[in-house]
Chains A and B, each alone.
Chain A
Amino acid sequence: MSKADLWGGLGLLAFGLALIFLIIPMGTVSGAYFGLAPTVFPTIMASGLTLCALGLVIQSVKRLRVGHHGAEIPVNQWNLLMFLIAAALILGGVVIIDVAGILVGGPLMIAGLMVFLGERHPIRIATTAIVPVVALWVLALYVFHTPLP
C-alpha cells in the first residue's frame, strides 16, 4: 500500500497544515483568557498529525525507492461503485426520514438496501422493512420516552 500511503500522507500533510494555519484560527472565537489560548490544544494535536503525515510520506517514498510497493490497494473501482451506491441509498433514506419521518423513511431505506443486497423475496422484504421500524418506534416512544422523527 506504499503508493496509497504516499498519497494519503500527502493529503493528510496538506490537511494538517490547513488545520494549523487556517481552520483552527478561523474556527476559534478570540477572547480574553488568563492561562492558555483556546487554540493551543488543537494546534498541538494538528502539529502531531502533520508530523506523522510527514513521517508516513518519507516512509512511503523510501519503500517505493527500494521497489517495495506493498499490498494491493484495497479499494478498486467496483468496490468504490458499490460503496457509493450503498452510501447514496443510506443518505437517501436518512433524508426521507428527516422530511417524512421514520415510519416512512425507515421501511423505504431497509427495503432499498435489501433489494440492493440481492434480496428478492417480497414477503421477507416487507416484513423486515416494516416490523423493526414499527417496533423501534413504539419502543422509543413508550419505553425510552424519546420520540423518533
Chain B
Amino acid sequence: MIDLIIGAAGEIFTPLVLAYIVFGVLLGYIVGALPGMNRTTAIALAIPFTFSMGPAVALSFLIGINKGGAAGAAVSAILLNVPGEPSSVVTTFDGYPMTKKGQAQKALKIALLASVVGDVLATLVLILLAAPLARFAIGLGPIELAAILIFSITFIAAVAGESFFKALIAGFAGLLLSAPGIDMETGLPRMTFGLVQLYDGVPLLAVAIGTLALSEILVQIDQGWRGEHHYPRPTADRGSKADRALPLKEIAQITPSILRGSLIGTVIGILPGLGATLASFLSYTWVRRASGQPERFGKGAPEGVAASESADNATVPASLIPVFAIGVPGSLSTALLMGAFMMHGLTPGPFLFKESGDVVFSIYLGMIVASVALLGVGLFGQRIFSLAIRVRETVILPVIIFLCVVGAYMESGGMFGVYMMLVFGFVGYFMKKFDYSFVTFVVGYVLGPMSELTIRQSIILMEGNPLALAQHPIAILFLLLAVLAVWRFARSGAASMKIGSPADQST
C-alpha cells in the first residue's frame, strides 16, 4: 500500500503533471461557465490531446475537466441567471437573487466552497468504497455481469429522456454500433462492408465528439438563429465589502446544507443514469424543508446555493465508483472517461485494482490534487470566468467545430474518423431534436464489447438451457429488476421516470 502511495506521489507531484491537472480544472471551469457548453463536450474534445500522456496523468486531467465543469457551471447561473449546465438550474434559484442584491461575489464563494467540499467528500467515498466493491465484483461470473449490464442499460433508459422506448432504441443502437470490427471468436470481419478502417471498430471519439459536441453546436446554431439566446451582461455591481466577504459565521451557517448536498450527491452519483440535476433538485428540496424558514429560499438564501452546488459536484467522483468497481458507467461523462480508460490500455472494472493498482492510486491522488486546484482556480480565476462568459457565440461555436474536426482526426490519424464524426454529429442533431437519449446511446456503445463478451460466455456456459440460470441468484435478481423496469415503463406508455429534463443527459 505504502509503496503504491509513494509511487503515485512520484508520478503526480511533478511540475508538468500538476500543471496538466490545474489546466484541466481551469479548462473545465471555463467551459462550465459558458452557457450552453458542458463538460461532456470538453471531455470529448480533450481526450485526443491526452494520447501523449501517461494513463494516470491523462485521466487526472480529464477528471479535472469534469470537476471544473461541474463547479464552473455555477458562474453563469449566479451572474447571468443562465445555468452553464442543467444541473445548475437550481443554483439560479438563489444565486441570481443574491447577485441582484449585490452579493454576487459572496454567492460565487459559497458555490465554490460547496463544490469543493462536495467534491472532496465524494472523492473520499470513492477511495473507500471502490476497492471493496471491486473485490466483491471480482467473484461475479459472466452470467451475473451480463445481468448487471442488462439492468444498467434498462435502468438508464427508464430515467433518461421522455420516452422509455426511444431511450431503449438509442441503447440498442449504441450496442449495435459496437459490433462492426473483427469478430472476437472467429477473427473474421463483421459488418465492416469492405472498409479496412472499421476493422478496429467504429472510432470511439468519432462517436463521442459527433454525438455530444458537434450535434450540440448544431442545436445551438439552430437556437441562435431563432433568437433564443439573449444572455444578459453580468452585473457590474460588486456590492459592499460585507456583501462580498464570506465570514466564518456564515460558513458555519451553510455547513449543514453543504453536508446534506454532499450526501445526496454521493448517493445519486453512484446510481446509474440519475445524474447531477436530480441530485441538486433533491438536495435543494431537503435543505429548504429542513431550514425552518422555507420562505427565504428563492429570494437569495445562501443555503440554497450551497445545497445545489455541493450535490452537483459530489456526483462527479461518486459516479466513478461503478466504473472503478464493475466497469459500468452511469452518465455521459463517466462513459467518456471509461472510453478514455480503454484508450489508455486500462480495463475499468473489478480487475482494474489487480492489474493496474499503481495507476488507480495515481488517479486517486490526481483527483485530490484536482480538488485542491478547484479551490485555487475558483478563488483566483473569477475575473477570467466573468470575461469568458462575455465571449460571443459567433467566435466560440466555429472554433469548437474546428476542434471537433481536429479531435476526430487525432484519434485515427486520418480523415476517416473526421467523416464518421460528421455523420454522428448530423445524426445526433436529430436524436437531440427528437429526444432519443444520448446517455443510453453512448453508454450502450461503450459497454458493447463487454456486453457481447459476457452474453456470449453466458450462452455458452448455460449450454442453451435457461434453467441453468437458477444457480445464479444475483443474475436472477438483476434480470428481474430489468424485466420489472421494462414492464413498468413500457406499460405506462409515457414511460420514463422523467427525472429532470431531457437536458439532464448532458452530464
Q: Bound pair: A and B?
A: yes
Given known A56-B163, A59-B165, A144-B51, contact A41–B455 (CB-CB < 8 A): yes
Q: Is A27 located at the chain interface by the 8 A CB criterion?
A: yes
In the assembled complex, how far is the CB of residue A56 from the closest CB belonging to chain B, in whole angstroms? 4
B218 touches A87 (CB 8 A): yes
Asked if A49 meets B173 with Cβ closer than 8 Å, knowing A36-B456, A41-B179, A94-B422, the reply is yes
What 0/1 readout, one digit per residue, does chain B (285-321) give for beta carbons within 8 Å of chain A?
A: 0000000000000000000000000000000000000
Query: Which chain B residues numbered 166 to 209 have a C-beta less than 8 Å away from chain A?
Result: 166, 168-169, 172-173, 175-176, 179-180, 183, 185-186, 188-193
CB <8 Å contact, B395 and A124 = yes
**Bound Cα distance from A53 to B436, whole angstroms:** 12
Which secondary structure dominates chain A's binding surface? helix
Within 8 A of A (CB), among B228-266: none
What residues of chain B lie closer than 8 Å to A28, measured between beta carbons? 183, 188-191
Inter-subunit contact B399/A83 (CB<8 Å): no
How far apart sit A111 and B406, CA to CA, in the bound complex (Å)? 16
Bound-state Cα–Cα, A122 to B402, Å:
19
A residues near B406, Cβ cutoff 8 Å: 102, 136, 140, 148
Is B381 in the interface zone, CB < 8 Å from A? no
List, in ascending order, chain B residues with CB within 8 A of A82's CB: 221-222, 225
- Cα of A118 to Cα of B180 in the assembled complex, Å: 41
A41 to B183 CA separation, bound complex (whole angstroms): 10
Give chain A nearest CB distance to B294 CB in angstroms: 32
Contact of B405 among A86, A93, A114, A129 (CB under 8 A): A93
Q: Is the CB of A113 within 8 A of B435?
A: no
Stretch at the interface among B62-70, B134-142, B367-375, B426-434: B426-434
Residues of A within 8 A of B185 (CB): 33-36, 38
Counting CB contacts under 8 A, is A145 at the interface? yes
Interface residues of B in 141-174 (CB under 8 A from A): 163, 165-166, 168-169, 172-173
If the complex has contacts A33-B186, A38-B185, A41-B452, are A90 and B168 also in contact, measured as CB distance less than 8 A?
Answer: no
**Could you count the A-B residue pairs with CB atoms below 8 Å apart for me: how many are there?**
184
CB contact between B218 and one of A34, A46, A86, A93 (< 8 Å): that residue: A86
Chain A residues with Cβ under 8 A from B179's Cβ?
Answer: 41-42, 45
Give the interface segment out of B4-12, B88-96, B352-360, B407-415. Answer: B407-415
Q: Which of A33, A35, A117 has the most CB of B within 10 A?
A: A117
A67 contacts partner chain B, Cβ-Cβ < 8 Å? no
**Residue in contact with A45 in the complex, picked from B176, B188, B429, B495, CB distance below 8 Å:** B176
Q: How far does the alpha carbon of A5 sit from the alpha carbon of B176 in the complex, in Å?
A: 21
| B14 interface residue (CB < 8 Å to A) | no
Report B-chain residues with C-beta under 8 Å of the C-beta of A114.
394-395, 398
Contact of A63 with B493 in the complex, beta carbons under 8 Å: yes
B52 at interface, CB cutoff 8 A: yes
Q: In the bound complex, do residue B395 and residue A128 qualify as a contact, i.e. CB atoms below 8 Å apart?
A: yes
Interface centre among B165, B214, B222, B415 (most CB of A within 10 A): B165
Chain B, residues 376-395, CB within 8 Å of chain A (1/0): the string is 00000000000000001111
- Least CB distance from A8 to B in Å reads 6
With A and B bound together, what is the CA distance between A55 and B168 in angstroms? Answer: 10
- Contact residues in B for A55 (Cβ distance below 8 Å): 165, 490
Bound complex: CA of A44 vs CA of B186, how far in Å? Answer: 18
Question: When the two chains form their complex, are residues B188 and A38 in contact, meaning their CB atoms are under 8 A apart?
Answer: yes
Known: A31-B186, A52-B169, A82-B221. A143 touches B52 (CB 8 A): yes
The answer on a CB contact under 8 Å between A48 and B456 is: no
Assembled-state Cα–Cα distance A45/B451 (Å): 11
B401 adjacent to chain A (CB < 8 Å): yes
Residue on A nearest B407 in the bound complex, by CB: A136
Query: Who on chain A is nearest to B410 by CB?
Result: A146
Contact present for B224 and A117 (CB under 8 Å)? yes
- Does B419 reach chain A (CB closer than 8 Å)? yes
Q: Is the CB of A132 within 8 A of B166?
A: no
The interface centre, meaning the residue of B166, B192, B393, B403 with most chain A CB atoms within 10 A of its CB, is B166
Verify A40–B392 contact, CB threshold 8 A. no
Which residues of the other chain, A, contact B467 by a CB distance below 8 angstroms? none
| Complex contact B402–A109 (CB within 8 A) | yes
Contacts of A79 in B (CB 8 A): 222, 225-226
Across the interface, B193 reaches (CB within 8 A) one of A27, A48, A62, A145, namely A27
Residues of A within 8 A of B (CB): 1, 4-5, 8-9, 12, 19, 23-24, 27-36, 38-42, 44-46, 48-49, 52-53, 55-56, 59, 62-63, 74-75, 78-79, 82-83, 86-87, 90-91, 93-94, 97-98, 102, 106, 109-111, 113-114, 117-119, 124, 128-129, 132-133, 136, 140, 143-146, 148-149
A-B contact pairs, 19 of them (CB 8 A): A34-B185, A36-B185, A38-B190, A41-B452, A42-B176, A45-B179, A55-B490, A75-B434, A87-B426, A93-B405, A94-B422, A98-B418, A113-B398, A114-B395, A117-B221, A117-B394, A148-B406, A148-B410, A149-B415
Given A78-B226, A87-B426, A146-B51, output 5 extra A-B contacts at Cβ < 8 Å.
Answer: A41-B179, A49-B172, A74-B433, A113-B398, A146-B413
**Among all A-B residue pairs, the 5 with the closest Cβ atoms:** A113-B398, A38-B183, A119-B394, A49-B172, A42-B179
